Structure 1
């Protein structure tokens, strides 16, 4: 990822109009109210996610910083199976 970012930065320095005035350029909203609303939604979502993890850890009686909180769930087991399968291929 760092190499890709470095190549993009070098390309953007050499051809700045490509990113500023082409069909590939994007314009940000720059509306403070929209930015604030999106930021607040993201903050609330993150606080709720952290609360869910802490609540689940408390129910299981484990420390969420040292133990797996979602161990035993279907999604967790599928993710571990995918990770094990990718290690076998590599």
Structure 2
């Protein structure tokens, strides 16, 4: 079984001076990783099987955190576009 607290700690990201630790919800084999930042919510979906059976957990963690950082940076940059 997945230790959700450890997984949440591993998936924590830092942007500028903000530390964002996700909430993780498990329901019938599906896993929701929920990040909340500046009024924005970003959710990454996975499965218990994918996490438990992945060859290297660090690859999974890196994939998720990079994707979330990319989405946050994109949304932040859109706020500063002069139109």
Q: TM-score normalized by structure 2?
A: 0.31
Whose relative contact order is higher, 1 or 2, with alpha carbons under 8 Å and at least 6 apart? 2
Q: Choose between structure 1 and 2: higher helix proportion.
A: 1
Q: Which has the higher strand share?
A: 2
Larger Rg: 1
TM-score (normalizing by structure 1):
0.29
